[in-house]
Amino acid sequence: MLPPSRTQRWWRKPRPRPRRCSSRPGHWRSWWAASVWTPPVPARHGPYARCCGPPFLPETAMTSHGPAPAIFYRMVDEAIDAVVIMTGECIIRYVNPALERLAGYGAGELLGQSLNGLLPEPVARHHDSYLRKYLAGLDNSKLVGQVRQMALRHRNGALLPVELKALDLGASGGERLFGAVIVDRSGPPGAAPVDASGRTELRRLQQFRSESADIMEQIARDVPLERTLHEIARVVEAYEPQFVCTIMLMEPETGRLRHGASPSLADTFAYAAQPVLLDGVQGRRLSQAAQARDIAKDPAWAGVRAAAQAHGLHSWWALPVLADDRLLGALVLHSVEARRPPVEQGELHRWCCRLASVAIGRHNATTRLRSSEQRFRAQASLLDHTQDAILTLDAHGIVTFWNRAAQRLFGWTRAEALGQPGATLLLEEGSHLDEALARVRVHGEAATECRVYARGGHLIQMEARLSLVPDDGELAGTVLAAFSDIGARKQAEGEIHYLAFHDQLTHLPNRRLLGDRLQHALVSSQRTGQWGAALLIDLDNFKTINDTLGHQMGDVLLGRAAERLQTCVRASDTVARIGGDEFAVLLEDLGTDQGQAAATARQVGQKLVEALGQPYEFAGCEHVSTASIGIALFGAQSAGAEALLREADLSMYRAKGEGRNGLRFFDPQMQVELLRRSELQGDLRHALRDGGLALHFQPQVDAAGRIYGAEALLRWRHPVLGYVPPGEFIPLAEETGLMNELGQRVLEMACNALLAWERVPAMRHLCLAVNVSMHQFRRVDFAESVLQVLRRSGADPRKLKLEITESVFADDLEGTVARMMALRVAGISFAIDDFGTGYSSLSYLKRLPLDQLKIDQSFVRDILSDANDASIARTIITLAHTLGLHVIAEGVETSAQRDLLMAHGCAAFQGYYFGRPVPDAEFSRMLAAVAS
């Protein structure tokens, strides 16, 4: 028997270790080999007997399903017999330690040398001739695959008798490789001769080892598992004829053993005995053998005892087939005698278990690989049918996957893209994509919008979503990228944005865009100290020309006036049409001195008066239309944009009242209104504290005219001034920081009203819309404060609808979505108020949990006469339907407006045509009258 150290190494996990060998003269590469136990030789075979080991497979040896298992390398490295790998020119590429010991050379000395140096001269000459003929395909009978008796030259010159079997290993790394297994037939110096009995056993053992080598070749060639196991069982039976061998397999899916191979047993008996063997093997620990000494006395065999005895079977013994302490199957030996199997033959049986372990393990790995390949092909097929361009980049930025949509969008075929750096295929305008790729490797995901050049040179507007693949293996660092072509969406957004912020007739900014730019100018003035001016312009005689010559000529006049205005100002100044025959000019950066700024504004205003006063030629005649201009200066301490426009508007009407065709600055004497605003601020605080505020309710109706809800509108009845318009006191509340308190009070009154309506049959179906300001909504505790009001009041949250404006989510989309979702879960619905008047991207809509869009009354007011407003209203209705949202129009004052909106698909309305905002009691009477 072998020493304990040798037998113990069989149970250790293979540990690969590199050996350097020459791949061609002057170059080196690392071959990986691993050690494996070779079966011990029973003592009766003689102390110096040698047996042939399994064939060597280099690391580069591949099968159709991947590299050869590491166990081959370990077996060769620790083999008793010598193994050599060489090229077709007999240049040695690898030798195992056994050959170095046999030939007397040190580690690495033979690498790169010719094998002929180890052969006697006549043998070397014939060896070269045989190899050349084999490579030429002329003769393969005298070298490859044959066992030859020959002599090997020792380093000291002595000749050693050996047996050599050569193998054709095929091509690897561009070279044709051959291998040889060399068995020492001399015996060690001083060895005792092997007797006749020992020679007989030796020949039997050599035959067993030779057949084992053939089995290893079958495994390497991916012969079907059933054939390989059948061959292992047949070899066992040939070597140990007193046993009938069965090999069983573990099913990973069920954790049960099943029949695998049994060459000498009928299939019917093998399957009939399977349950008995299953219970016997699976009931033992993995390291233990299961056995039954006498089948005739074992109650487990009662059902198949007769069949077993008919096959001459009287006992059985099973060894587990293991791999890294995992049960892969069992090798079952049925004995023709009722006895325990001989202990001295157990190691040979375990060698067969190792052969079976290699075969089963390789089969399982191949099966898993094929399944993985099938899954990958299925997933790749799915990705090929998406509309988005899907691609993957490895850790070095190289394209490793490219679907059909990527080929369609970018123009590069899959064959052209794979293996190329992504940076060369995805050239972008800007650096948004590069920044997103950097973020995804830090945060795991990223998204951006970018403009990428296609192969044809044109730009594609893309939305890119990037994810880092969570993998520690070969996919580590891989980025999955999905690109959507958003060109059509961006174009639609641009068109809607242009319609919302520009005048369709003159293509100038409209009032909304002017207000936005004025707000930015005020902020800039506060920061820099620069003065600016807002000029409001009214065409004095426009109504007369429009009425006498018709609207078409009036439009021509407006277009000409717009052109003249733009020629009188700088490119950085803003010229806007704010409605009808009114224009505005915004002048910025007029200097830090107020007097100089006023002089510059006056100079520009005078140029405008003169330019607009020049005759207009159209319709074969000259027509004159003068202009009245009001100017309001603004600086670091100026009021808001609306206040500034009111000042300019007041100055403009003062200029018209003073004879027209002139300009007028805002007079400090006009501060009476501002003083009144200051007084109102204090009165508003008292009203909020003393309950001087009340809700009025304006009905909301459906297409049939039925009242299905209402909007809660805050009203303030001043003890001296009477009703103060919301447009006057709401801005006051925002400026003085009262909006949060005011909004909370409105919510409380609205929820109390909902609870009261629940007790009235004619009103319990109503839902109530409540406006929420940007300041109130952005509070961290906003969602919880709303829920607390609902809990305290007992109102049904499903009947509460909160109306927010686009400005709420423009700067904090994630926070907005989180707050809305917290309230949406409770049943509260949401609508966007004054939709279309904001200055934000429509891409936010798809992320917000909305229920309704509300068309602003500014679009409805002139919908019958202004094609621009009609187009915007129709676009909003279509957009809402596309997103699956409801839509309501506010400010409906005539049946004609309602009919036009209804024709475009609007089914809900609000406005004076259906009812003015009224107190709760009057609203209740209105509903009662409708119900009766």
Q: What pLDDT score was predicted for residue 491?
A: 87
Q: Answer whether residue 24 shows pLDDT above 60.
A: no
pLDDT category, 860, cuts 50, 70, 90?
Answer: very high
pLDDT value of residue 132: 64
Give the pLDDT band of residue 605 (cuts 50, 70, 90).
very high
Helix H segments across 221-266?
Answer: 225-239
Question: At 278, is the pLDDT very low, low, confident or very high (cuts 50, 70, 90)?
Answer: low
Percent of the chain with pLDDT over 70: 77
Residue 671 has pLDDT above 60, yes or no: no
pLDDT at 368: 79
Q: What are phi and psi of 492, to 5 degrees?
A: -65, -40
Per the CB < 8 A criterion, the answer to whether 286 and 325 are in contact is yes
CATH number, domain 740-931, options 3.20.20.450, 3.30.70.100, 2.70.98.20, 3.30.300.30: 3.20.20.450
What would the DSSP string read from start to end of 265-323? Answer: S-HHHHHHSHHHHHHHHHTS-TTS-EEES-TTT-GGGTTTHHHHHHTT--EEEEEEEEE
State which of 203-212, 340-349, 535-544 shows the largest mean pLDDT. Answer: 535-544
Query: What gap in Å lies between CA 412 and CA 19, rounded to an integer?
Result: 44
Distance from chain centroid for Cα 452: 20
Judged by DSSP in three states, 593 sits in coil
| DSSP letter assigned to residue 691 | T
Task: With a cut of 80, say whether residue 441 has pLDDT above it.
Answer: yes
Instruction: Say what the pLDDT of residue 703 is.
Output: 92
- Domain 386-485 homologous superfamily, CATH: PAS domain (3.30.450.20)
pLDDT for the residue 59: 42
Q: Give the C-alpha separation, 912 to 711, whole Å.
A: 13
Q: How far is CA 450 from CA 394, 464, 515, 517, 760, in A?
A: 21, 7, 30, 26, 56
C-alpha distances (whole Å) from 325 to each of 286, 328, 329, 872 are: 7, 9, 12, 73
Lowest mean pLDDT among 340-344, 551-555, 772-776: 340-344
- Tell me, what amino acid is at 549? L
Kindly indicate the confidence band of residue 8, based on its pLDDT and cuts at 50, 70 and 90: very low
Neighbours of 743 (CB within 10 A): 23
- The residues spanned by each domain of the chain are 4-216, 223-369, 386-485, 505-666, 740-931
Here the tokens at position 524 are: 């800039």
For the domain made up of 223-369, give the CATH fold. Beta-Lactamase (3.30.450)
Summarize pLDDT for 757-786 with one digit per residue, the tens: 999 888 999 999 999 988 899 888 999 999
Same fold across 505-666 and 740-931: no
Q: Which of 192-206, 524-538, 745-759 has the lowest mean pLDDT?
A: 192-206
Q: DSSP assignment, residue 116?
A: G
| Strand-pair partners of 850 | none
Check pLDDT > 90 for residue 507.
yes
Its CATH architecture, for the domain 505-666, is 2-Layer Sandwich (3.30)
Q: Could you give the C-alpha distances from 560 to 468, 539, 549, 725, 843, in angstroms and in order?
A: 57, 12, 15, 38, 36
Q: Is 406 helix (H, G, I), strand (E, B) or coil?
A: helix
164, 82 contact by CB (below 8 A): no
Which amino acid, 48? Answer: Y
CATH no., domain 4-216: 3.30.450.20
The yes-or-no verdict on residue 864 having pLDDT over 50 is yes
Q: What is the largest CA-CA distance in the chain?
A: 141
Q: What is the pLDDT of residue 268?
A: 60
Report how far residue 128's alpha carbon sits from residue 126's, in angstroms, rounded to the nearest whole number: 5
